[in-house]
Structure 1
């Protein structure tokens, strides 16, 4: 497949993002990730959604590092500093799972605490189901693992149509709409940095259409199989949803009913946050995680 690589100069001087880039090779594609903190500390894996990238976690990483954690934050293929296959058809749900599972096995951490949101949840929960022994604890914020058997919110159908058919795809504007806090020009520029022109947007355009919304979607059965594993996952499983997301509202209740590890642990609602709650309330989320992890 043909792939694009965002020039490094696009990422120069980004506000609040002082982290050292690291790279792995997956299927001849370069995948970017952050690896911050004590290399021998408890591992925290942060998985972003779309159209964001690891920049989304810039306010969560320092307090987790200060707690003694090793923090991993990859950019999904098609996003951030990772390579970007140039055609929408180059992306599938299964391919995204396989890319991230390949990367995870290369890094090979154990005792992992996962925080996942948006597509980070659709991929991250598949990773947990594929290798449950690798994970010690899970936090899900504004996300889930759909099988196509559920009702799809109207807000998501509108978003799906926009991503597929709109002649423009303004990443900074999308991030502004999906957050509650005022966004500075510098922050908006950072979210748009991976996409210097429309050629780089295939991955972001593709993602909404890859969410299974019918029972016969290609991803439906693999997700049902993942749920068969998650229904036996009895390690701590926390929900950390915002109060201002029309797309994932209510999914936290289903997660708590279905995953045994959600029983008897603390859950929280992040007030005053939109879909991208990490952007709105990252420090509060990190504090909640630290309390549950005892660090």
Structure 2
């Protein structure tokens, strides 16, 4: 099968499975209309009681829901800062997770960075983690995620001089945020992520795994989130850790965000998100702010190859890009201390 044939097949699969999801979710037949009942769901707090190695105080922002109403959606975030006797470095690190994870992914990365004097802000994307879950699956578009992220980071938290750390979909969103607000950032660290426009020739091996993911997430009910995380780590995860990844999703109604991410990946140049990706690349290809890639050698999509970022972004030239051995897609689980050390070293070497 040629790459063009594969794309056509997957484009059809995405459309077909989106329809399958609609049937499974028992939403109204009229496309685009919100389902009856609450506009958002909130995972009960007791689901997050006693999570291992996650002692962080919760913080929340109320953002515009984005459905044309006056309704709000609550976004959760972690905001950890150095305390005496640790001397503050004056650096703020924004940590963005991907799919189907949440800020829990960074639980072993944040403490050493705070101990090094850095402020760490880790968001839960809307529909994930402790953030609210809109019940209208059609709200989960690439642009709406960008609107939520921009409102949180730029308008509400007003973060400046930021070190962006982004993984998976956190990179697909975060790199566009970087392109749209480059003056807000000092440097960026990309981990097992990319910014594809739908025009690229995709590696067959990694894309085959991604195609499996597309079909799996749309057709499986219930969706085993912890099983996905466990399947893309090289380390064996404790049952309590697996439970923490399942905690945000008591039932399938809470999983629209997870499911929809999979069908937002641009497959062809005609994808509705392609112009935004291309506009972001126009900026990124001229950006000389320090840019570092930290990838996992065993990542099922990239295989540790980061040249699509490091080879195109000027600020990546000459940086000590790292491919961690023994690390799969969720490298924060496999090599958290190495990840934290790479971020801290990068910050110290590129201080103004």
Scaled to the shorter chain, the TM-score interval is over 0.9
Shift of the 285–25 alpha-carbon distance from structure 1 to 2, 3 Å rule, reads: same
Q: Distance in 1 between matches of 2:103 and 2:304?
A: 26
Q: Distance in 1 between matches of 2:74 and 2:277?
A: 27
Q: Distance in 2 between matches of 1:128 and 1:254?
A: 17
Q: Does 1:84 align with 2:133?
A: yes
Moved over 6 A (4+): none
| Shift in Å, 1:38 | 3.7
The 3-state SS of whatever aligns with 2:201 is coil
Q: Does 1:23 align with 2:77?
A: no
Greater relative CO, 1 or 2 (CA 8 Å, sep 6+): 1
* Alignment partner, residue 195 of structure 1: 249
The 3-state SS of whatever aligns with 1:227 is helix
- What CA deviation, in whole Å up to 9, does each residue of 1:186-209 have, x standing for no partner? 100101000011111010011010
Q: Distance in 1 between matches of 2:334 and 2:241?
A: 12
Q: Does 1:232 align with 2:282?
A: no
* Alignment partner, residue 97 of structure 1: 146
Q: Distance in 2 between matches of 1:250 and 1:265?
A: 16
Mind listing any 5+ residue stretches in structure 2 that lack a counterpart? 1-33, 65-71
Moved more, 101-110 or 53-62: 101-110
The 3-state SS of whatever aligns with 1:210 is coil
- What CA deviation, in whole Å up to 9, does each residue of 1:164-197 have, x standing for no partner? 1223310111111011100000100101000011
* Alignment partner, residue 33 of structure 1: 77
TM-score, length of structure 2 as denominator length: 0.82
Q: For 1:1-295, list aligned pairs within 5 A.
A: 2-27=39-64, 28-38=72-82, 41-105=90-154, 106-152=156-202, 153-249=207-303, 251-294=305-348
- What CA deviation, in whole Å up to 9, does each residue of 1:124-162 have, x standing for no partner? 001101100101111101001110011341111111111
| Shift in Å, 1:248 | 2.4
Q: Distance in 2 between matches of 1:240 and 1:164?
A: 30
Give the root-mean-square deviation of aligned CA atoms.
1.3
| Shift in Å, 1:251 | 4.9
The 3-state SS of whatever aligns with 2:263 is helix
Q: CA contact under 8 A between 2:297 and 2:304: conserved in structure 1?
A: no
Q: Distance in 2 between matches of 1:174 and 1:233?
A: 34
The 3-state SS of whatever aligns with 1:97 is helix
Q: CA contact under 8 A between 2:296 and 2:304: conserved in structure 1?
A: no
Q: Distance in 2 between matches of 1:246 and 1:7?
A: 33
Q: Distance in 1 between matches of 2:184 and 2:58?
A: 24
Q: CA contact under 8 A between 1:114 and 1:139: conserved in structure 2?
A: yes
Q: Distance in 2 between matches of 1:90 and 1:132?
A: 27
Alignment: residue pair count:
295
- What CA deviation, in whole Å up to 9, does each residue of 1:258-281 have, x standing for no partner? 100000211111110111111111
Moved more, 147-156 or 125-134: 147-156
| Shift in Å, 1:250 | 5.7
Q: CA contact under 8 A between 1:144 and 1:251: conserved in structure 2?
A: no
Q: Distance in 2 between matches of 1:118 and 1:272?
A: 18
Q: CA contact under 8 A between 2:298 and 2:304: conserved in structure 1?
A: no
TM-score, length of structure 1 as denominator length: 0.97
